[in-house]
Structures are given as structure tokens and as C-alpha cells.
């Protein structure tokens, strides 16, 4: 299983590709909506790309709980273990 930092880096690449946010700005304490300015449509794209990249399933009802990059990393770690 990927480490926390590897997952964060993977998410950073995804966020950068989809939204243009610099990968170095995608840190664990950053809010997807408030800090990174990711709207709901882009968030869906991020989730789909993360599911493919990390081989996990993120249920629609879970997406609203993924407020920060750290929340997403933690979910992916648990889902992948």
C-alpha cells in the first residue's frame, strides 16, 4: 500500500491535471473547496481519477466527508488496506 506522502503526491498530480492548482499547493491541511477552490464538478473528476489511480471505491455519500486533502488521503489509506 502507498504511504501517506505517496497518496498525497498522487492526489496533487490529479488535482493539478484537473484544476490547474499547482501540485505543491495540495497539502494535507488544505480544504478542497476553501483553499484549493475546487467546485463540485471538478471534485467528482478528482474522485473518479483517485479511484482509478489507487484502486479504491469512494462511495458518493463519502465524497461530502472529504473536506480536506488529509481526509481524502486517510480514506484512501483505509479503503486500500
CB-based burial, 20-49: b 16+ in 10 Å, e otherwise: ebeeeebebebebeeebebeeebbeebbeb
Q: Is 39 a catalytic residue?
A: yes
Neighbours of 69 (CB within 10 A): 23
CA–CA gap between residue 25 and residue 63 (Å, rounded): 21
Catalytic-labelled residue, pool 25, 34, 37, 39: 39
| Residue positions annotated with a catalytic role | 39
Amino acid at each position: 500500500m502507498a504511504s501517506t506522502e505517496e497518496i498525497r503526491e498522487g492526489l496533487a498530480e490529479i488535482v493539478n491535471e484537473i484544476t490547474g492548482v499547482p501540485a505543491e499547493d495540495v497539502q494535507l491541511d488544505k480544504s478542497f473547496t476553501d483553499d484549493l477552490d475546487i467546485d463540485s464538478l471538478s471534485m467528482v473528476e478528482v474522485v473518479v481519477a483517485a479511484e482509478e489511480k489507487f484502486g479504491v471505491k469512494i462511495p458518493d455519500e463519502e465524497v461530502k466527508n472529504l473536506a480536506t486533502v488529509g481526509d481524502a488521503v486517510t480514506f484512501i489509506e483505509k479503503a486500500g488496506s
